[in-house]
Each structure stands twice: as C-alpha cells, then as structure tokens.
Structure 1
C-alpha cells in the first residue's frame, strides 16, 4: 500500500497592526478599520478571555516584547530576548456580570502537546509561570488598566512539575503553598531577569 504524500500547510506569520488598516470590498475601502473592530470587540477587559490576553500584554510590556504580536497557538505565551519561556495565567475576583459573591481564584495549569501536527507527550512547555490576579474587590472602582490593582505570582515550572505533576488546575490557596514569588507590576521586570539568569545560565 502506497502512502499518500501529506502536504503540511505552513503557519501564517502575524504582522503587527497599527489599527489604521482598512476593511475593503471589491477593491474599495470601507469606513471601517481595525481600530473600530478592536473598540467593538475588545472593550470588556474584565471578561475571562480578554483579561487573559490583557495579562499577557501587561507582562510583555515589562520585557520589551510589544513589538512582537501575540500568537494564538504558541506552546507558551511569551519569550524573553534571551530565551526564557513564560506561561501567563490570569484570574479575578470581579467579573463584568452580576455576581452573588466574589469569584474564586483558580488557574489552568494543564500540560499540553508542543507540536500540533505530530502530538508528543504532554508537558508544561514554559520555564516559568506568572499567575496574574486582578485582586481588586470593589466593583465601583475596579479598573484592569490600573496596574496597582494586580498581584503577580511567579513560580518555576519545575516546581509545578514536581509538586502537582499532571494536575489540570490550581487554586490561589494551593498555589501559595508552593511559595511563589508575589510581586507588583513595578518588580516584574527585575524578577523575570533574575529567574532568566538562574534558569538559563
């Protein structure tokens, strides 16, 4: 039996957009651009999905990686210029919808396949995890753009692998038992650099 040749479709490189890119139809520009799409689709920063992307942006801003657009399907979320791989997770006590009580802080930590075409053993792909908590608890004044309202917990992936192995999620209280480094935004860069030097050298 002759095996059929498999054609692998290459990845499409993401190009950083400015927001001024126009929608077109039949070669004619429409009065719509990417900025109007962003404003329409991405204004609810408290939502679970977009808050996670916002957390990635916040961390990327501390390691000079905003020139590289976010890739949806990367095996990890960020990589420093020197090669430290970072996984970002976020959670919040407050949601945009009506709540009977504060949300529980919980993070996904499930190991994943590195290669989507040829799946291998599931592992955690990054060197470190940064758990980002929008810690503010007052709905009248919560503001995801106020970075003083965020807490950041940094933990080496090797500790997760040793302590919780194939566990798929972890609560904040369980995470704290693993002695992560808890910091605010102004110390993120220096702590990432410290761990970069420790892990990669």
Structure 2
C-alpha cells in the first residue's frame, strides 16, 4: 500500500432506506432482478439464528413504535432506541431451528459486554460494558414444527429486565439460561411488551440514581 492509500480518510457511509424495487444493472442495463429478489433469497428463512435475531429486534421495535423509516445500525452499541430515548438490547432464542434436530435447542441468551464501536474511526473504544438501559429476551416458544411461524407473535414470549439486574447476575456474565431468567422476571406476551419496557427503564433509572454518589 502506498502512502497516498494509507492516508485515506473515508467517512462513514449513511445507508438509505430501500423499497425493494431498485433494479440490478450492468453498464446501465437492467438484468431483470430487483433488490426485493435478493431479500427474498437471503432472509426468507426467519427461523435461522442470524435472521431470527434481527427479526426479533424488529418485533420489539413494533411494540415501541420505533422509526421504521430508519435503517438498522449493524454496528450500534445497542439494538433499538424508543421515541422516549430508551436504549434497548434484544436477544432471541428458539426451541426449533431450521435444520434437522434430535432434540429441542437448549435456551440460552448471550449477555456479554462489549466496547463501543466508533464508526468515525472504525475502532472499538472505551471499557467493555452493557450500553443499553433495558434488555428484552425474546423466545420463540412454539415446539410444534408443523405450525411454527415467527410472524405469529402469539408464538413468542418475552422477558424484560433493566440492565442493572444483568450486571448483578453473579452466575455468569456471558450468558443466562431460561431457567435463571425465569427466576429474575416473569414471562410476558407481545401485548405487554411496551409497558414492561417502560417499567424496566424507570427501574433502571432509579437504580442508577441510588448508586450515584452525591458530594
């Protein structure tokens, strides 16, 4: 790499919302495919781990009436932010996977800390921690392979916790099982999600206020 290339200062590229009707072209000529064809090909399997995780974020986003005109931030320090400014981390799990199984999957959620990714310089900065105010654990609970459908929100259950309770979880700081999670908070349904997120946020704020050392 020459000195000119090594001194490039490329700023982050801001993604714009696509409709799916955008055409693929070669030298200005339409090749007969649209962006929607790529989406159908690449993310129709919403049972797969990676796609299900992003779909769970979307589900939680609908509950808080997020701005779906904004593009998902792949490198954000947390997954969602409500109109009230509540920062939310979303985790998902499912008993049934898209591959063949001899047994249902054991339900475990990641709760690992992370550093903040600075898109301005492409580097992780700061101390590894949990950046969200609230964690939402999403479980696709249906165990019937014949009718499992992640788009039917009654097939999901949710567990909402303020982040300080995750920070104080002593058994592990990298993951939490469904059994342990159930001891910390009750399972809720989609219709209760917005209210529980607001409640957990208020609890988080109160916890931070109590722990603040005043002069």
**Shared fold (TM-score, shorter chain, > 0.5):** yes
* Structure 2 CA distance for partners of 1:141 and 1:104, relative to 1, 3 Å: same
Q: Determine helix, strand or coil for the equivalent of 1:24.
A: strand
Match of 1:40 in 2: 41
Q: Determine helix, strand or coil for the equivalent of 2:200.
A: helix
Match of 1:191 in 2: 196
* Structure 2 CA distance for partners of 1:105 and 1:23, relative to 1, 3 Å: same
Q: Determine helix, strand or coil for the equivalent of 2:88.
A: strand
Match of 2:133 in 1: 127
CA-atom RMSD in angstroms: 2.0
Gaps in structure 2 of 5+ consecutive residues: 1-5, 207-215
The whole-number CA distance in structure 1 between the counterparts of 2:144 and 2:83 is 37
Aligned pairs for 1:45-124 within 5 A? 45-65=46-66, 66-116=68-118, 117-124=123-130
The whole-number CA distance in structure 2 between the counterparts of 1:10 and 1:107 is 34
Q: CA deviation at 1:197?
A: 4.6
Gaps in structure 1 of 5+ consecutive residues: none
| Deviations, residues 123-160 of structure 1 (Å, cap 9, x unaligned) | 01100100000000011111111110000000111111
* Structure 2 CA distance for partners of 1:155 and 1:196, relative to 1, 3 Å: closer
Contact 1:110 1:166 in 2 (8 A): no
Q: CA deviation at 1:35?
A: 0.6
* Structure 2 CA distance for partners of 1:200 and 1:9, relative to 1, 3 Å: farther
Contact 1:150 1:185 in 2 (8 A): yes
